Structure 1
Amino acid sequence: MLTIGAKLPAFDLWAVVSVDPVKAFIRITNESDAGKWRIIFFWPKDFTFICPTEIAAFGKINGDFAGRDAVVYGVSTDSEYVHLAWRQNHSDLVDLPFPMLSDIKRELSAAFGILHPEEGVALRATFIADPEGIIRFVSVNDLNVGRNPQETLRVLDALQTGALCPCNWQKGDDVLKAA
């Protein structure tokens, strides 16, 4: 699995950005949004139970990420057409403000090293990459445990300070001073 200090792998994937079939599909690459912080989170499958709760939660705080010069990309091994159908049929995903990337060939999931060995789908993995494309945070959950997007935002805030942030640090709290 890729970890802290690794460079984001190269990728070029179809993404769904709308429920309108005419405007829904765009390409997203590792060069898209260069110079911004990137939050890349993976989920196992569309049309499931835990996944939409996480995706919708990321969507609700997308503006907070954008306000920190960060973009969010959601990724699964489903096709862009499955993503579109899911968005069109799930009320929590209709107005999703970030792209849903299709890793149908599983190349990006494999490059990140987060494919479940038996199921062949992506684990619930979250990566934060800095503006240079260097991974600064990694979190991976098993298939049956949802993640906390607020924690991802908290970690982004801490990373952006460039300082020493203690346990449970929150934006606006004092950072540690080295003696």
Structure 2
Amino acid sequence: MSLINTQVKPFKAQAYHNGKFVEVTEAALKGKWSVFVFYPADFTFVCPTELGDLADNYAEFQKLGVEIYSVSTDTHFTHKAWHDTSDTIGKITYPMLADPTLALSRAFEVLIEEEGLAYRGTFVIDPEGKIKIVEVNDNGIGRDAKELLRKVKAAQYVAAHPGEVCPAKWTPGEATLRPSLSLVGKI
């Protein structure tokens, strides 16, 4: 079963955020767009390239009213240690959620049970707490923050313009489509 249009399940997680340990629950997602970015583990190889890319583009997500949450099965203490020792991870100002119980990774269906690690899962969540985009990569394949930003803009556009859809490679200002009988076979 797909997670698309399902409600984020209740959760409670510790996070490292801006020099503090904080608790994050599903209630924090209500009323704004959110992106959950699962990754396998701290102190690894592809992960810092992705999280650093998100950090470099975080201001653009914030302008759209989007909060980023990175998630791994590490503890919040490990997130702090990584943040304090890596120049790339030290740029992060979005919350880094800890999932040592594996509950979040299971709820979002990205857990590799035999390893206790998560796949590279990306989830865009609307202000009502419904999952609108799901993308899961094998762990050797890194993601691109600018492409995620484009997808978030498309999700926000579709939410604000019922009856319109965004075609492939759509960016703000480009034409959208209004599905109708008259369009069948014309695209």
- Normalized against structure 2, the TM-score is what? 0.89
Cα distance in 2 for partners of 1:50, 1:36 equals: 28
Cα distance in 2 for partners of 1:17, 1:2 equals: 30
User: Aligned pair 1:12/2:8, yes or no?
Assistant: no
Q: Residue 31 of structure 1 aligns to a residue in which SS?
A: helix
User: What residue number does 2:166 align with?
Assistant: 165
* Residues 30-179 of structure 1 aligned to structure 2 (within 5 Å): 30-162=26-158, 163-178=164-179, 179=182
Q: 1:118 Cα deviation (Å)?
A: 3.1
- Normalized against structure 1, the TM-score is what? 0.93
Cα distance in 2 for partners of 1:118, 1:147 equals: 24
Number of residues of Structure 1 aligned to a counterpart in Structure 2 = 175
Runs of 4+ in structure 1 off by over 4 angstroms are none
- Alpha-carbon deviations, 1:98-131, whole Å to 9, x = none? 0100001000101111111432201000000100
Unaligned stretches of 5+ residues in structure 2 = 159-163, 183-187
Q: Is the 8 A contact 1:2 1:112 kept in 2?
A: no
Cα distance in 1 for partners of 2:2, 2:59 equals: 27
Cα distance in 2 for partners of 1:37, 1:111 equals: 19
% same residue: 37
Q: Residue 124 of structure 2 aligns to a residue in which SS?
A: strand
Please, which moves more after superposition, 79-88 or 25-34? 25-34
In structure 2, relative to structure 1, the CA distance for the partners of 1:138 and 1:63 (3 Å cut) is same
- Alpha-carbon deviations, 1:2-54, whole Å to 9, x = none? 52111111111110013x4xxx2011111014200010010000000000000
Q: Which protein shows a greater Rg?
A: 2
Unaligned stretches of 5+ residues in structure 1 = none
Q: CA RMSD in A?
A: 1.3
Cα distance in 1 for partners of 2:123, 2:65 equals: 16
Q: 1:161 Cα deviation (Å)?
A: 1.1
Q: Is the 8 A contact 1:2 1:113 kept in 2?
A: no
